[in-house]
A = this chain, B = another copy of it.
Amino acid sequence: MDPLTQQPVTPLRVRTTTTEEFNGIPHHVYPLNTRREDDGVVSIEGVRLTDVAEEYGTPVFVLNETDFRTRCRQLATAFRGGHHVHYASKAFLTVSLCRWIEQEGLALDVASENELAVALAADFPAERITVHGNNKSEGFLTRAVTAGVEFVVVDSPPEIELLEQVAAKLGQVQNVLVRVTPGVHVETHEFIATSHEDQKFGFSLASGAAEKATLACAKAEHLRLRGLHCHVGSQVFEADGFVLAAQRLLSLWPTVREGKGPEGSITLDTLDLGGGYGIAYMPDQEALDVDGVARDLLEQVEAAADRMGIAAPSVNVEPGRAIAGPSTVTVYRVGTVKDVETSDRTTRRYISVDGGMSDNIRPSLYNAEYDCRIVNRLTEAEPVPSRVVGSHCESGDILIADALIPGDVRPGDLLMLGATGAYCYAMSSRYNMMTRPPVVVVSDGSSRTMLRRETVEDILALDTDH
């Protein structure tokens, strides 16, 4: 049984190659309660996607509220309380999403002043907000401290000085975490441990920069150092990398404790291990085992603290993709279908849809892979080597580079791409002036708009000569 879907583990955990497989729905890639109705139409939460396409047009993002909330709950349980689970706004954020996250008892990470502004506009409780960023402006820090956010994660020496000034001016004491680069990089199932990290975020553990930063926080009168933060990678599937990073961070604990600061300036109780919880984009992938990883991680942190003779800190995590990603599909309408000879003996079918790199830059930017299914009917055709491309005036505008897709896909068909809830809308552009699709929420048999479709009027509204 799949612990999340409560359904038998699907036999579809292989790359799809047959007509029959293509008519199936790999449940670990698509939102909860995605099914193919008797007439062949795909529905989510009882809402037929053909009806969504009809009512809202295409392309359209379709977000399953139940899926989103279920993943929030699973993570909250696994990490022993929603306040330890900080949803990473950068994956995707709206006013409604803030409310769901609040209702499910989770906390929120923001990494820009506007993300904070949207959270506050949604009345998200500031005391459950953590503030990130490598280049926070004075205005952003002032707004964060004024609002009373739980943590500011400090990232550079000038920022520690600036935050101290801001908090002093406001007469407040701000809880902070120090972002540390522990020299642990995780790439899906493997991790590498190094001593240095060449990246913009954080203070290096190996160079002594992290120790200096904690000391600077301890000495700052208006900062209270509560713990350390790190982030080991994206699309991580095992606990090992998190555990090693946690152990490395804990090794700094005794040193930090001895850091001389004003009374009460250090309360070491928090270890924030960041995000990176992997999801399944393709049928032959499996999402990170949230329950198993949480159990391993918490046990290992407790064991390490025990060996060191210190109280085990709270472990916070920052999933974004793992909550938002699988909740959503993008539905496109097929426009042109064209066979292109790629050599004297082979052809590739190019299936053009009415969106592209403006609503999903991830294939172009990260070589990300996506799965697709026909939405409006069953297929009986043999799969043929195909490429799903967008409508942009750029040959790199590719959504699925190389897949076997049934040979009867034709203009007018609807295709859905799975697991598009994270970093698709959030990174969307208006390239070729193709405006953003709407985001439609499906829940309990009905649908509604969460974000409306952009139009050319939104483009012209910025144009002062219009």
Interface string of A365-396 (1 = CB under 8 A from B): 10000000000000000000001011111110
Is A209 at the interface (CB under 8 A from chain B)? Answer: yes
Contact A196 B393 (CB under 8 A): no
Chain B minimum-CB-distance residue to A197: B340
User: Are the CB atoms of B111 and A338 closer together than 8 Å?
Assistant: no
Kindly state the separation between the CA atoms of A394 and B436 in the bound complex, as whole angstroms.
22
The docked-state distance in angstroms from the alpha carbon of A459 to that of B98 is 15
CB distance from A366 to the nearest CB of B (A): 8
Beta-carbon contacts of A446-466 to B below 8 Å, as 1s and 0s? 001111101010111011111
Interface string of A135-178 (1 = CB under 8 A from B): 11100000000000000000111110000000000000000000
A342 to B195, CA, bound (A): 9
* A117 touches B (CB below 8 Å): yes
A429 at the interface (CB under 8 A from B): yes
In the bound complex, residues from chain B placing their C-beta under 8 Å from that of A391 are 112, 133-135
Which of these, B335, B434, B460, contacts A112 with CB under 8 Å?
Answer: B434
Given contacts A117-B456, A135-B336, contact A429 B427 (CB under 8 A): yes
Which of A115, A340, A426, A435 has the most chain B CB atoms closer than 10 A to its own CB? A340
A216 shortest CB reach to chain B, Å: 13
Contacting pair B94 A463 (CB below 8 A): yes
Judge whether A466 and B121 touch: CB under 8 Å. yes
Q: Report the Cα distance A416→B410, complex, angstroms.
A: 48
A199 at the interface (CB under 8 A from B): yes
A88 to B433, CA, bound (A): 13
Q: Which of B115, B209, B393, B454 contacts A132 (CB 8 A)?
A: B393
A343 at interface, CB cutoff 8 A: yes
Residues of B within 8 A of A449 (CB): 464
Q: Are B434 and A198 in contact (CB under 8 A)?
A: no
How far apart are A77's CB and chain B's nearest CB, in angstroms?
Answer: 26
Stretch at the interface among A46-54, A290-298, A348-356: A348-356
User: Which residues in B have their C-beta under 8 angstroms from that of A398?
Assistant: 200
Bound together, the chains give a CA A204 to CA B344 distance in angstroms of 12
> How many copies of this chain are found per oligomer?
2
Q: Is A247 an interface residue (CB 8 A)?
A: no
**Contact indicator B456/A452 (Cβ below 8 Å):** no
The answer, yes or no, to whether A74 is at the interface (CB within 8 Å) is no
> Counting CB contacts under 8 A, is A341 at the interface?
yes
Chain B residues within 8 Å of A117, by CB = 433, 456
A253 at the interface (CB under 8 A from B): no
A93 at the interface (CB under 8 A from B): yes
The yes or no answer to A361 lying at the interface (CB within 8 A) is: yes
Contacts of A428 in B (CB 8 A): 429-430
Residue pair B426, A431 in contact (C-beta under 8 Å)? yes
Which one, B93, B336, B354, contacts A158 given CB within 8 A?
B336
The reply on A96 being an interface residue by CB < 8 A is yes
Q: Which residues of B contact A341 (CB under 8 A)?
A: 196, 204, 206-207, 209
Closest chain B residue, CB of each to CB of A115: B433
Residue of B134, B198, B352, B460 near A352 (CB, 8 A) is B134
| B353 contacts A135, C-beta separation under 8 Å | yes
The answer, yes or no, to whether A221 is at the interface (CB within 8 Å) is no
A364 at the interface (CB under 8 A from B): yes
Given A114-B432, A200-B350, A450-B463, 8 extra CB contacts under 8 A: A88-B393, A95-B460, A111-B392, A134-B350, A135-B335, A198-B348, A200-B338, A450-B465
15 pairs, A vs B, C-beta closer than 8 Å = A90-B393, A111-B392, A114-B435, A115-B432, A115-B433, A118-B456, A133-B393, A134-B352, A196-B341, A196-B343, A198-B342, A200-B340, A200-B398, A201-B395, A426-B431
Give 3 nearest A-B pairs by CB, closest first. Answer: A111-B393, A114-B433, A135-B352
